[in-house]
Structure 1
Amino acid sequence: MDGSVARPRPFLALGLRLATAATLATMAMLVKLASERGAHLAELVFWRQAITLVCVTALLAGTGQLRSIRTQRFGSHARRAAFGITGMFFVYGAVILLPLAEATVISFTAPFFAVMLSVILFREKVGLYRWFAVALGFAGVVVLTQPAFGVGAETSIDPLGAVVGLVAALLVAAISFQVQDLNKTEAPWSIVFWFTALTAPVMLIALPFIFQPHDPATWGIIVAMALCGAVAQILLTASLRFGSAGVILLMDYTSLLWATLYGYTVFDRAPPHSLWLGAPLIIFAGLIIAWRERQLVIARQKAETALL
């Protein structure tokens, strides 16, 4: 957990990322379950941040790495925290408003928004491959959100939920650029620490206005949800330490399997036919973007080597 670069261990990285996907899917299921038992969205966000802050701080203190949180970019951390907490509300809101599998598939549109933001914010030149992937991905969203592919009204998707999910994906894409910038000067654990340290107190202020008593079972679900978030954050950081992001990110798509399983076993909802038509389009489009990004990185590395 020090600042050095760890030796690449691709199979360990893939295993950690698979565990991350499963843990995040479990967290989403617990968010939805807690909401159905009366827990307020803002309350869930508070406990997620507060418990993660405690876990990360304890981990850093226990390993003697508290010094890694020192920063001279407090303003950048504050902006990341503002975007991050807003994004968390939309991500959790999508999970609450939509069935788990559909919310998960819509979250896969984040790479498409990242491509568009790279053009708008950084004037990056995007070629045919990535524009085709963006168009294909959003075609998958259109297919996914059409109730005509399902059987009965219960299989249709709440339009508000679909919009909330797309905004969540947009914010995730925007946050990825902020984290990418912070990674140039900040340790990964510093980014995690300041995100939770800056947002948990803000949510604490809101807690008295939205808090409601819960039975022991609901409290257990809330605590388990927050712990899953903390564990997922640790697993995510570790996976990026041992493997290439362009490769291990592909493991995130396995979260759809968990979301579908939880949707069926916990919430008694089988996915509609539109999911099996739209999801492959979205996932395939994401794979095209990941492949193309990898090709561009390799080309840049070769160009830099040639200049040496």
Structure 2
Amino acid sequence: MLGISLRLGATTCFGFMAAMIKLGYEAGVSTPELVFYRFAFGLPPLLAWIAWSGNYSAWRTQRPMAHVVRAVLGLATMVLAFTALSYLPLAEATTIGFAAPLFAVILSALVLKEHVGRHRWSAVAIGFIGVLIVMRPQGSDLPLIGLAIAALSAFGVACVTITIRQIGRTESTQTTVLWFTGLSMLAVGALMPFYSGVHEPRVWAILVALGFFGGTAQLLLTAALRYAPVPVIVPFDYAQLIWAVLLGWLIWETQPPASTWVGAAVIIASGLYTLYREHKLGRDKVRAEAL
């Protein structure tokens, strides 16, 4: 229950972070600024986490170039995700983002050479049908560029997932997060003299909230894995859609059309079935090894 609660807390923070991004765009904040302050104001929770755990050597790594690659992919993906929110309502952007696990299955077969059976391939195909339902390529009133950027962002999340799985074989979670934060702040910070602006106190409050919710979500996401296995907590990630719909209605008075709900249901069903197959294959492997 603690693991599930932490995961729900993470999805809640991600939902509010997305809302802060949209509010930031509406206030005239540029993308480099939003990304920079996401890291800058998300750094204190990260450092507090490291201090609380006593892992003061988290900055040490045996694979600096691997972290550089992860930072490049992660930063590019974050820029895409932020930009998509400038074009799309919260619900649609969130729903398309749920396609990331589907891309991850494809990449795990192509990059990691993992076996992907017909059941999971079928789930991937059905999931992408759900994405198409949400995007409504024929007759959609959503901007095509926003839909394309959201889809690219989901693919980027899958790439980052595969990269983290590779790095995680030798690096701790704190090391990975710390290097990603530091390298990203250096890269985006170099752009700040050209993009930073003077903001009102209200806008600064949005930026601080953006960093706080983003940094806290990352910590809760990681902490949840300490108290519950992946198959138990991952399904609760879809609760982020509830927050996206609720915040979109409260702040912007937008309500997703029926096609978004139908597409979300198809994507979530395919994701849960993929998760079930992963869990079942894991149990079968354990039984085989026990015999």
TM class by shorter chain equals: over 0.9
CA shift for structure 1 position 69: 3.2
Pick one of 173, 176, 187 that aligns with 1:202: 187
Distance, in Å, in 2 between the alignment partners of 1:206 and 1:223 is 19
CA shift for structure 1 position 51: 2.2
Q: Who is 2:64 aligned against?
A: 74
Give the TM-score of the pair, scaled to structure 2.
0.95
Asked if 1:132 corresponds to 2:100, the answer is no
Q: Who is 1:288 aligned against?
A: 273
Q: Who is 2:82 aligned against?
A: 92
The answer as to whether partners of 1:69 and 1:187 remain within 8 angstroms in 2 is no
Q: Who is 2:221 aligned against?
A: 236
Amino acid across the alignment from 2:155: L
Cα 1:59/1:121, change in 2 over 3 Å: closer
Amino acid across the alignment from 2:47: T
Q: Who is 2:241 aligned against?
A: 256
The answer as to whether partners of 1:140 and 1:278 remain within 8 angstroms in 2 is yes
Q: Who is 2:45 aligned against?
A: 55
CA shift for structure 1 position 33: 0.6
Distance, in Å, in 2 between the alignment partners of 1:251 and 1:55 is 23
The answer as to whether partners of 2:132 and 2:263 remain within 8 angstroms in 1 is yes
Asked if 1:221 corresponds to 2:213, the answer is no
Give the TM-score of the pair, scaled to structure 1.
0.90
Pick one of 156, 170, 173 that aligns with 1:188: 173
What whole-Å deviation, never above 9, does each CA across 1:168-213 have from its counterpart, x for those lacking one?
1111111111111222222211111111011101111101111121
CA shift for structure 1 position 136: 0.9
The answer as to whether partners of 1:30 and 1:221 remain within 8 angstroms in 2 is yes
Structure 2 gap segments, 5+ residues each: none
CA shift for structure 1 position 148: 6.9
Distance, in Å, in 2 between the alignment partners of 1:120 and 1:147 is 28
The answer as to whether partners of 2:49 and 2:219 remain within 8 angstroms in 1 is no
Q: Percent identity?
A: 38
Asked if 1:44 corresponds to 2:29, the answer is no
The answer as to whether partners of 2:107 and 2:162 remain within 8 angstroms in 1 is no
The answer as to whether partners of 1:50 and 1:200 remain within 8 angstroms in 2 is yes
CA shift for structure 1 position 62: 5.0
Structure 1 gap segments, 5+ residues each: 1-10, 150-154
CA shift for structure 1 position 59: 3.4
Q: Who is 2:11 aligned against?
A: 21
Amino acid across the alignment from 1:27: M
Asked if 1:64 corresponds to 2:54, the answer is yes
CA shift for structure 1 position 300: 1.9
Runs of 4+ in 1 over 3 A off after TM superposition: none
Aligned residues: 291
Cα 1:186/1:226, change in 2 over 3 Å: same
